[in-house]
Structure 1
Amino acid sequence: MTILLLEDNRKAADDLARLIREWKPDVRIEGPLASLEATARWFATHPLPDLIFADIELSDGLSLTFFREQLPPVPIIFCTAYDRYALEAFESAGVDYLLKPVDPEKLTRSFGKIGLLHAIFAREEFEEKISRVIRQLTSPYRRTLVVHRRGRLIPLNVEEIRFAYTENDIVYLHTRDRRYEADSSMENLEADLDPHQFFRANRQFLIARDAIAEVHRGFARKLTVTLHIPTPVAVVISKAKASAFLKWMED
């Protein structure tokens, strides 16, 4: 576990670090960072910490200013000598607000809140994974296709497909770095794949939801879709299909 300290008073930082290590001896403590400038530099060059302890009044401004502008997805415990910033602190991802000098019992309760948050999010992630597996097991759509490559038959996981493209009556399946020949027509392929994950853009293309990078509006209310990997020709969606495609993207 990595904890970042934002504190411009060295003694206060040392006292807080000592209390933290009494709670969790093997924790890694980064900082203290005494200014907004140092904080911005640190976040630009380091991976996110697991938890932040932040004094509100740093040497060159309020840490609340930094968190309002660049809110990191990390829980923050604010430690300050003043109680007038409490409301703003909780609006800036603050999970607790401790007054200095920090009381060890209140610090322990703060860590309890962090543990509860981690448990809740871990449970939600686990439940989502279970739901995804159940959906896959009960889905009527294909999860694997048998495809051709260099004279061999290969099982291809449907989740790897970025788009299907038909040329000269042959359907090619493109993954991030390979192209395979499908033993199917585009119509049959469309029927075999989950319509929540794949959209028939036009006669030539069937595209995967996860492959879409951006969409541009063009002439005559047509849409041009850019994928994360190159396509042989532009993926254009007609005016007639544009509304259905945009609704599909939002589902």
Structure 2
Amino acid sequence: MKILIIEDEIRAVSQLQLVLKTCRFNYELLDIIDTVEDAVIWFEENESPDLVFMDIQLADGLSFEIFQNTTVDAPIIFTTAFDQYAIQAFKVNSVDYLLKPIQKDDLSKALDKFLKSNNSSKVNASVLKQLLSDLQIPSQREGMLVKSGKGFVQIKISDLLYYYSEDSITFGVTQSKRFIIEETLDELYSTLDQTKFFKINRGQIVAKSSVEKISPYFNHRVKLTIDNPRDQEFIVSRPKTSDFKNWMNK
């Protein structure tokens, strides 16, 4: 049985493999992928595995985005630490879903369901597309606290041109200043109005109003000219390029 693991947490990978061993499930591990971008490339360059264990929240976005950018002809067992994602993933015809930390009994039941399905259960891509849209309901957040000297000040979300992560620190940039933000990029993005902000890759979020020009870039990507770039390069990752263009066109 050839399996693929799509998971961005090393501990979660180790724990899954340990529980698979206790279930006496014989398998060949093809690869471990930790991002949406790398998963899209892997599926385009390799034959389909017999089964995929897929975490829902990856380093550069929701794993549902994989299905928007490539064809996945394999049964999926979703894994997640978040109940709301688990319930939604279950509704899109995956083989099953597992809540972290994964328990032996839950995994055994999921594997049994997979084997009884004759290995033929596939994810419904059209339902996933609607699900992804539902998960991106715009937030009404208007401001945020940022570090300023020894204290904090509040700035308007509308003043931010872009955000980026560097050395595990999140920064927000306005026309005149750069601020340190005490949130991870993923935590921050989940609170933003996603009709106005787009996470172009695992380390950058841009405001639509800050994009001055979009230029072709190698490997089917695009490069952005952004207002006040501060020595940053803005390159939209390949899996996100199509969605980014559609987003800019709205």
The TM tier, using the shorter chain, reads 0.3 to 0.5
Higher relative contact order (CA 8 A, sep 6+): 2
The structure richer in helix per residue is 1
> Normalising by structure 1, what TM-score?
0.44
